[in-house]
């Protein structure tokens, strides 16, 4: 009698979709999906409010091989398992929403962008001003209470959450009304 071999998705170098971000449990999550599962992975990432980027080769390929394979048929956050914070920070430093490091930048894949300051709500991506030296950074809105926003730094889960006035953030690609 022969046993059926269970084939696990290969982490070999080929086009992959990487889903990464910080879930509601405040833990970093990251996983790769084969290019054939790109659309379901993007849909699930949008629902979970995670970042998505396609990696074909280059400097990130070896790092992506260290990530766990994503599970399309898993429920909720189990689809993208938690990873060690050190690995997550390396992933974010290597691949970012503007394209893979060392390659030509591509259009960012952003899930939710508010059109006006009044439309800002939890889950939206905004820019906040750190300092004159450090400049502007991407932040995810965690909570809105009147004209105060609680933000978290999008790419660095170890940083603490903070509160700013709604007028202190910039909108990413606002529409002309």
pLDDT at 82 over 70: yes
Residue 98 region, left (φ>0) first, then alpha (ψ -120 to 50), else beta? Answer: alpha
CATH architecture, domain defined by 125-171: Roll (2.30)
pLDDT at 96 over 60: no
Report the pLDDT value the prediction gives residue 11, as an integer from 0 to 100: 47
Gyration radius from the chain CA atoms? 18
Return all residues near 41 (Cβ < 8 A) that are at least 6 apart: 17, 19, 33, 52, 70, 72
Which residue ranges make up each domain of the chain? 16-100, 125-171
Per-residue confidence at 57, pLDDT binned at 50, 70, 90? Answer: low
Distance CA 120, CA 11 (A): 38
Contact indicator for 70, 79 with CB cutoff of 8 Å:
yes
- How large is the average pLDDT for residues 164-176? 84
Per-residue confidence at 147, pLDDT binned at 50, 70, 90? Answer: very high
């Amino acid at each position: 009698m022969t046993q059926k071999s269970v084939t696990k998705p290969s982490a070999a170098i080929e086009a992959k979709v990487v889903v990464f971000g910080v879930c509601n449990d405040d833990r970093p999550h990251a996983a790769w999906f084969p290019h054939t599962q790109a659309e379901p992975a993007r849909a699930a990432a949008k629902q979970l409010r995670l970042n998505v980027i396609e990696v074909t080769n280059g400097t990130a390929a070896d790092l992506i091989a260290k990530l766990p394979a994503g599970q399309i048929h898993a429920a909720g956050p189990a689809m993208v398992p938690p990873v060690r914070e050190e690995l997550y920070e390396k992933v974010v430093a290597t691949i970012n929403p503007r394209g893979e490091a060392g390659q030509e930048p591509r259009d960012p894949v952003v899930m939710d962008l508010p059109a006006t300051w009044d439309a800002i709500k939890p889950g939206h991506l905004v820019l906040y001003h750190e300092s004159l030296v450090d400049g502007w950074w991407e932040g995810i809105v965690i909570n809105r209470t009147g004209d105060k926003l609680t933000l978290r730094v999008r790419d660095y889960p170890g940083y603490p959450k903070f509160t700013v006035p709604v007028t202190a953030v910039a909108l990413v690609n606002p529409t002309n009304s």
